[in-house]
Amino acid sequence: MPQHLKYRGPWLVAVLVTLFLGVPWYWPEDRALEGWLVPAWVWITLGASVMLSVVVVWGALRGWPDEDEY
Partner 1 sequence: MQGLPLGPWSLAFIAVYLLSILGIGWFARSRRRDDTLGDYYLGGRSMGLWVLMLTLFATQYSGNALFGFTGQAYRAGFTWLSIVHSMIAVVAGYLLFAPQLQRLSRAHQFVTPSDYITYRFPSKILGVLVVICLMIVLVNYVLAQLKVMGHVVEGLSGGRVDAVWGVILLAVIMLVYSTLGGLRSVAWTDAIQGAMMLTGFALIAVIVQRDLGGWMVAFMELREVAPQKLQPPAGRTAVTWFSTVILIGVGASVYPQAIQRIYAAASASTLQRSLAGMAVLPLFAVVVVLALGFVAIARYPGLEGSSADQVMVLIMRDVLATGVLGHVVVTLLLGAILAALMSTADSALLALSSIFAKDIYQEHLKPHAGDRECARAGQWLAWVVLGVLIWISTLEDLTLYRLFVLKFEILLQIAPAFYLGVNFPSLRSTPILMGLVAGLTTAVAGWSAGWMPLGLHPGTLGLMANVLTVLASHYFLRPPRPVMGLDGRLK
Q: How many CB atoms lie within 10 A of CB 46?
A: 12
CB of 13 to partner 1, least distance (A): 12
**Interaction pattern, residues 34-53, with partner 1; x per rule: CB under 8 A:** ---xxx-xx--xx-xxx-xx
Is residue 63 involved in binding partner 1 (CB under 8 A)? Answer: yes
d(CA 4, CA 49): 26
Which positions lie near partner 1, rule CB under 8 A?
A: 2, 4-5, 15, 19, 22-25, 27, 31, 37-39, 41-42, 45-46, 48-50, 52-53, 55-57, 59-61, 63-65, 67, 70
